[in-house]
Every structure is written in structure tokens, then in C-alpha cells.
């Protein structure tokens, strides 16, 4: 995925429709939260096993795919509007997480990951 190309396409899409005025960081962050809620609805009443077994072509899988795409679109727009280099930000966060959560201390124990920010 070429982030810069996608961001340009999304910016062009918004500009052509005069939607830039609505794509403030505040509005984009709120749209992200709303889309995350829509993704959660896809899985809300599924068991752990059912959620893990969704397969391409199934209605639930298709809904999840579309909500994931919506999330990515709003995230790309937000990063673009704030001037965040997504690749660099992700690399930096992975490095910080590796330091904060050493394998020997957290392997197999998700409880050690909470409340460490």
C-alpha cells in the first residue's frame, strides 16, 4: 500500500466534492470513533470462535472489510491533515512497544500490557 498515493487520492476526492471544509482533525477523529463502533457491531453477538472463522464471501466478513476500509480512509485523511508520516509513526511506536513490553516479561500475559502508558 502506497500511503502517499492513497492520501492524495482521498484528498482529491474530498476536494472535488468540496468536503475539505468538513475534514478537520476533530471531525476526522470523531468519524474514526464512529466507524470503529460500526466495526464492533459486526462482531458484537459472535462468539470468539465465530469471529475468528469469518471467511471471504460471508456477509459478516464483507461488512467487516468495508468498516476496516472506512477506518483506514479516515485514518489516512487524519494523518494527512495533521502532517503525520504514518510509516515513521508506526515504526517509532513498534520500537517503543518493544521496549515497554519485553518478551520475557509479557509473553502470554495480556494483563501486563494494561495501564502502562
pLDDT at 84 over 70: yes
Side-chain-side CA neighbours of 69 within 13 Å: the count stands at 8
Q: Among 24-28, 42-46, 105-109, name the one with the lowest average pLDDT.
A: 105-109
Q: Which CATH class is domain 3-83?
A: mainly alpha
| Nearest residue to 38 (alpha-carbon basis) of 83, 71, 12 | 71
Listed by start position, the domains of the chain span 3-83
| Model confidence pLDDT, tens digit, residues 56-65 | 999 999 999 9
Q: Cell 502506497 identifies what position? A: 2
Amino acid at each position: 500500500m502506497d500511503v502517499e498515493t492513497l492520501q492524495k487520492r482521498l484528498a482529491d476526492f474530498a476536494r472535488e466534492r468540496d468536503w475539505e471544509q468538513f475534514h478537520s482533525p476533530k471531525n476526522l477523529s470523531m468519524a474514526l470513533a464512529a466507524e470503529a463502533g460500526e466495526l464492533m457491531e459486526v462482531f458484537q453477538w459472535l462468539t470468539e470462535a465465530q469471529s475468528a472463522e469469518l471467511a471471504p464471501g460471508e456477509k459478516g466478513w464483507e461488512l467487516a472489510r468495508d468498516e476496516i476500509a472506512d477506518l483506514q480512509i479516515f485514518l489516512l485523511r487524519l494523518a494527512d491533515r495533521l502532517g503525520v508520516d504514518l510509516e515513521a509513526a508506526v515504526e517509532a511506536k513498534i520500537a517503543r512497544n518493544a521496549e515497554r513490553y519485553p518478551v520475557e516479561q509479557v509473553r502470554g500475559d495480556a494483563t501486563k500490557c494494561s495501564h502502562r502508558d
